[in-house]
Structure 1
């Protein structure tokens, strides 16, 4: 590859299952590393075990909670056998987190994910490590004001100082068939209230829609659905990331991920 190159050649080899340890060395996302190797290992001929070290909760990547509660349950419904455990949190910029994943081989099967089912629960959790506790308290206060949630639905979890400094606010909406998790990451110079209001706004947008998948879950479901050779899910307005991924998938797999707008504003993604 070179700057300005107009072509890329892809020569896939044989997938070697086994035990792997990937240490990013920084706060680089363990979740993105997992998504890079997960699909090939599902198509391998024997089980694999992964140990991934780096960032587990950092900006511009899905936090572990999203992987575990939103993404992997859909793959299990498609027949995948995957277990993931969070051994240690790792925040930007320090990193140092660790997740462990067991993967049993099995190609995903097509499924239809068009309805969420009934709402089972909503919750908010503010994680804080090596920072003043009042940051998390202000975030939770903002969430409770916006949603009028009960005390039992809102929690603060103080992590060991050596796992920080770091802060993340997680808002969760659990339905019968899907769980949406919205995150807000603490940043230097960004007040806790502003972070919380952004996360609240994003969750409200999802709650007010009828879509099965939020924008980030939709991004991540495209490849397994394409590999399954069929299936469909509903989502909010597709992001540019999703549209680009659909084009790339079409070039590699000769399968089309087609988005169609529905009458109430949601979109239906179907693999052709």
Structure 2
């Protein structure tokens, strides 16, 4: 049966964190599984309910990629129907406007394209490092590593930084077809090797360097070995992004933040990174769920806490794909087990 002939699966957009996460995850899974969906009560619990311009960008771009029929696509809309068509190899050039988050858009479209076995070449302008969103370095070096282990490969060139409020950054992205999804087991961080990446524009270089030195000092006192790279980039307005990350065979962890003149740059990320020795960091955990829900073998990872985004993604993936998952309490954290169904895709 063609997607347009199927009855749309109804999804309550107010569930869990009740924001943009449930929207992005549902749309991605709709495109992958070719199941039409109707999302209602979009951002019901937010101060300004309904779709915002940043959400429209994600929906429009994903709609182009999978030739979707979309109803309710307007700012303020609290209900949309998304009926996906076939995904094809495609080249796109997009501008999300001002500082709309490119990273959040990429979260939705990368797995959709790769798991359809297609290739995407995308040049996209907007916000590369903005509040309430992963930094572009996190997307490239942390999410990129996690997806690669799953069999999802993408290349990302950060050509120009775009900070809030003006944006104007540019990223060139290539997503490659995924031939086979691979289950993962991320149990505990054992490496003591950490990389720090910092990009800044229009700020005092000495202040930035001192912040990185402070972060390295904290890490070294905890027994970590550090490598750091500071890059001054051009941007439309001042800003800076900080990423600390590590990889080993049993873990992928990262912590990032943006420059805030009211706080010590990098302090929060350093504290978060040091305090967690689990298989995945809190932010990565929810990003893993969508592809893991489509693998019939069991995947297991540990995480320090169950975020509302993780809870939301576990809910929405099980609703759309029928995957099974379990959450177990372990010492100071949680273990997540996910098994997809052979018929998921």
Q: TM-score range by the shorter chain?
A: 0.7 to 0.9
What 5-or-longer segments of structure 1 have no aligned partner?
Answer: none
Q: Considering only aligned residues, what root-mean-square deviation do their CA atoms show, in Å? A: 2.8
CA distance in 2, matches of 1:48, 1:144: 38
Q: Say if 1:7 and 1:154 are closer, same or farther in 2 by CA, change over 3 A.
A: closer
Please name the residue that 1:131 is paired with.
Answer: 203
Please name the residue that 2:243 is paired with.
Answer: 170
Please name the residue that 1:221 is paired with.
Answer: 288
CA distance in 1, matches of 2:187, 2:296: 20
Mean Cα displacement is larger for which, 145-154 or 19-28?
A: 145-154
1:129-166 alpha-carbon deviations (Å, 9 max, x no partner): 01222330331243134233799734432223x45411
Q: Say if 1:79 and 1:172 are closer, same or farther in 2 by CA, change over 3 A.
A: closer
Mean Cα displacement is larger for which, 226-235 or 52-61?
A: 226-235
Local SS of the residue matching 1:181:
strand
CA distance in 2, matches of 1:176, 1:55: 32
Task: Report the Cα offset of residue 11 of structure 1.
Answer: 3.1
Please name the residue that 1:13 is paired with.
Answer: 85
Task: Report the Cα offset of residue 182 of structure 1.
Answer: 1.2
Task: Report the Cα offset of residue 65 of structure 1.
Answer: 1.5
Select 2:273's aligned residue among 193, 203, 211: 203
Equivalent pairs counted in the alignment come to: 264
Select 1:183's aligned residue among 256, 262, 272: 256
Q: Say if 1:87 and 1:174 are closer, same or farther in 2 by CA, change over 3 A.
A: same
CA distance in 2, matches of 1:155, 1:81: 24
Please name the residue that 1:71 is paired with.
Answer: 143
Name the TM-score, length of structure 1 as normaliser: 0.84
Mean Cα displacement is larger for which, 109-118 or 162-171?
A: 109-118
Q: Say if 1:196 and 1:143 are closer, same or farther in 2 by CA, change over 3 A.
A: same
1:56-112 alpha-carbon deviations (Å, 9 max, x no partner): 112211112211221122222222232222222221122122222222222652413
Whether the aligned pair in 2 keeps the contact of 1:116 and 1:177 (CA below 8 Å) is yes
CA distance in 2, matches of 1:93, 1:166: 10
What 5-or-longer segments of structure 2 have no aligned partner?
Answer: 1-39, 45-76, 340-345
Local SS of the residue matching 2:230:
strand
Please name the residue that 1:267 is paired with.
Answer: 334
Q: Say if 1:125 and 1:38 are closer, same or farther in 2 by CA, change over 3 A.
A: closer
CA distance in 2, matches of 1:56, 1:213: 23
Task: Report the Cα offset of residue 170 of structure 1.
Answer: 2.0
CA distance in 1, matches of 2:154, 2:142: 13
Whether the aligned pair in 2 keeps the contact of 1:70 and 1:180 (CA below 8 Å) is yes
